[in-house]
């Protein structure tokens, strides 16, 4: 990993600083952050509507990047609001997924774990 890349904690600090400079915390309860996260996810998805993946990637790359950043920003703010350590949450979820989707059963297979 490059040393000039921000860690999750550093990104969190940047996002919270941006929010606090604008006095927006008053609007950022967990429900509204979750709603905003869903809305931004929909805006991300809209870039793929009526296009192949290849068309969207070549024609809408900048918009996709911006919307993906918005999704991450809202996820960071929601994690902050709920006092969730994202590093711990992701590693814990990967451990659970590893148990649900063992390599021997899931490699090259797109079926849900209940269908194994």
CA–CA distance, 16 with 26 (Å, rounded to integer):
12
Residue 47 has pLDDT above 90, yes or no: yes
70-86 residue pLDDT tens: 999 999 999 999 999 99
CATH code, residues 1-84: 1.10.287.1080
| pLDDT value at residue 116 | 87
Band of residue 33 on the pLDDT scale cut at 50, 70, 90: very high
| pLDDT value at residue 113 | 85
CA–CA distance, 41 with 53 (Å, rounded to integer):
16
Residue 32 has pLDDT above 90, yes or no: yes
Q: What are the extents of the domains in the chain?
A: 1-84, 85-116
Please give the structure tokens belonging to residue 93: 């979820």
Judge residue 43's burial from the number of C-beta atoms within 10 Å of its C-beta, 0-12 exposed, 13-18 middle, 19 or more buried. middle
| pLDDT value at residue 114 | 85
Judge residue 40's burial from the number of C-beta atoms within 10 Å of its C-beta, 0-12 exposed, 13-18 middle, 19 or more buried. buried
């Amino acid at each position: 990993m490059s040393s000039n890349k921000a860690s999750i904690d550093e990104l969190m600090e940047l996002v919270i600083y941006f929010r606090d400079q604008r006095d927006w915390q008053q609007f950022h309860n967990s429900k509204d952050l979750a709603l905003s996260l869903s809305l931004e996810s929909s805006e991300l998805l809209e870039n793929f509507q009526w296009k192949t993946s290849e068309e969207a990637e070549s024609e809408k790359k900048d918009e996709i990047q911006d919307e993906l950043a918005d999704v991450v920003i809202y996820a960071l703010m929601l994690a902050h609001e709920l006092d969730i350590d994202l590093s711990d949450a992701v590693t814990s979820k990967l451990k659970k997924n590893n148990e649900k989707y063992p390599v021997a059963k899931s490699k090259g297979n797109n079926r849900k774990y209940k269908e194994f």
